[in-house]
Amino acid sequence: MTCKSIPAYKEILAIHHTDIGYDRLNMHDTPSFTPPLLLRNAHVMTLAPRYWPRNISLRRIPQTERLFTTEPGTQLLGICHWQPRPAESSTLILVHGLEGCADSHYMRGVAAKAYRCGFNVVRMNQRTCGGTEQLTPTLYNSGLSGDYREIVRELASVDRLTHIWLVGYSMGGNLVLKATGEMEGTVPALAGVIAVCPNIDPTQCVEALEQPRNWIYHQHFLSRLKARMKRKAGLFPGKWDLRAMGSMKTISQFDDYYTARDGGYRDGADYYDRAGARHVLHQIAVPTLIITAQDDPFIPYSLFTSPELIENQSITLLAPRHGGHCGFFSLSQNGEDAYWAENRIVEFVSRAR
């Protein structure tokens, strides 16, 4: 895919019937998401992009590593792809989802496309992710939006970047929306934000994730969280008691005992409530794109029909009937590859610059 092959947007009007879009940037002619029949199963759609053969090598793209200090004693690792004159280009800060990392397939996919279109790209590892457990004594959680506010401010003040975009998937989508709402348009360098399947209300999302129909995802995330907790405890002896972990059967139990306490929340319920970007959607004041699927297995579509979202003129919502969780995998069309959401991200930023 090249930038020339990225078409423009069209307004999608069949609200509550097919694809949903609130056209807030005078956009026209975006390709609708129409997956093959087999991929209209939400679970197949969710899993297919992860296992589909794909060349997402970034070997020919310049790459440097950078540590961002977001609070005393805590650093986040960013993988940076700078254009020859970085200050003359817009910059995408990419944030992965739960138990992902800077090398997740969608992070590399967006990075390759965006760099080819002339953007700087910074692929961030959240705290403790991507082999960075040693860089902070804390765990990562859905409420740490301050990390990304600080990264935006550093890139603006130190690097003199003037057009910065926050882009996040799933948990990362919640983080970038929350950070943007908290900034309330007061940081001129923040040009906009894009979130794919963001868990803007963790209470409802975790409840859906723990339903029997989502057993495969729930067990995947829970086992990965437990393994990470063991690695983390080995690096910081005495900080966490691992004895309770063996009896934990749900993510909500894990978050109540470990994540919430570590993050300074009263308990898991308090963490889930306060960490959600839903509380600050009405404060977002920069161009915003939210992509979600009506059939996402564990991000309820009803979250995106709230007045706070719909009435905010800065927010554009694209919500195809199908797409699964961060899947949006279809047949190649109009010169694009099969990764529809990635193409919409680059398209949205290209039209806004």
The whole-number pLDDT of residue 47 equals 94
φ/ψ of residue 282, rounded to 5:
-70, -15
Segments of the chain scoring below 70 in pLDDT: 1-29
Nearest CA-CA partner of 150 in 75, 242, 59, 62: 75
**Contact, 303 vs 337, CB < 8 A?**
no
The per-residue pLDDT for range 335-344, each reduced to its tens digit, is: 789 999 999 9
The whole-number pLDDT of residue 252 equals 98
Vertex 49: Cα angle to 211 and 5 (nearest 5): 135
**Contact, 19 vs 320, CB < 8 A?**
yes
Global confidence as pTM:
0.93
**Contact, 89 vs 120, CB < 8 A?**
yes
Question: CB atoms < 10 A from the CB of 208, how many?
Answer: 18
- The residue type of 259 is T
The whole-number pLDDT of residue 10 equals 31
Tokens coding 285? 């004041």
Pairing label, strands 20-21, 91-95: unpaired
The per-residue pLDDT for range 277-293, each reduced to its tens digit, is: 999 999 999 999 999 99
The whole-number pLDDT of residue 192 equals 98
